[in-house]
Amino acid sequence: MQTSVTDPPFVPIRRSGWPVRRTPRWAIAAGVVLLAGGVAVGLSHHPSQGERASDLTSLLTTLNTDVESCSGGVGDALAVLTAIQTGASQDVPTAISLANLGASNCSPANNEQLDDLTGVQVPESLASFHLQAAVKDVIDWAAPDAGQVQADVAKVLGQRGKPGEQAAKAALARDLSKLKRQREVVYAALRPAISALSPRSKPPVLWVTARPSNSY
């Protein structure tokens, strides 16, 4: 005989706890309206003159901080060159080493501060002044222009009393003039924003000339 197997009777599972209420449609609609309003307020916000001035001074500080080590190196290299040429120092090897070190320091690959400079983004509040181009101009001032000037100083010192000395001096004069022109490009790009928002602010210091030192 075969015994028939029957399924147990179906018993519906009873839910426990409080019933879950569905969110009313009017609440969803209200949330959408509030979100849209918040977005609209954000888009319609116009920074005040004071906010824009603060953004500008912050940008200028960043530019100066990131380029100052390279800029100071230019001044130091020219100072030791003057010291050697005037007889205030006889330590040519140290002067050459300092100039070469400064040239290397004006490369973003060797200088963390300059590397940071390549990632600087101008605040949106200053968009009308198109200052992102000025940031690039500062980078160009440092690399390759400032680095090249310091490399030229090292060559002039290395060629003292040799046939290549005059050619090295001519190259230094040429590259130094180029560095000065690039500095004016930077200042011209920043001047309108400084004049309009913060007349007392200063552009980044490009090329600090130190006094000749008897150490070199």
Pairwise CA distance, residues 156 & 167, whole Å: 9
pLDDT in tens, 9-19: 544 545 545 45
pLDDT in tens, 124-148: 999 999 999 999 999 999 999 999 9
Question: What percent of the chain has pLDDT above 90?
Answer: 74
First to last CA, the chain: 116
Pairwise CA distance, residues 146 & 138, whole Å: 10
Report the candidate in 158, 174, 140 with the shortest Cα–Cα distance to residue 70: 140
Whether residue 157 is predicted with pLDDT greater than 90 in this model: the reply is yes
What tokens were used for 18? 């409080």
- Specify the pTM: 0.76
Using CA atoms, how far residue 149 sits from 77, 101, 127, in Å, is 9, 12, 33
For residues 99-116, give the mean pLDDT: 96
Question: 144 with 74: CB under 8 angstroms?
Answer: no
Identity of residue 150:
Q
Q: 3-12, 51-60, 136-145, 178-187: which has the minimum mean pLDDT?
A: 3-12
Residues 6+ apart with CB under 8 A from 109: 115
Residue 28 has phi, psi (to 5 degrees) of: -65, -45
C-alpha dihedral (164, 167, 168, 172), degrees to nearest 10:
170
Residue 213 has phi, psi (to 5 degrees) of: -115, 140
Classify each residue of 97-120 as buried b or exposed e, where b means 16 or more C-beta atoms within 10 Å of its C-beta.
ebbbebbebbbbeebebbeebeeb
* DSSP assigned state of 13: P
Pairwise CA distance, residues 124 & 210, whole Å: 37
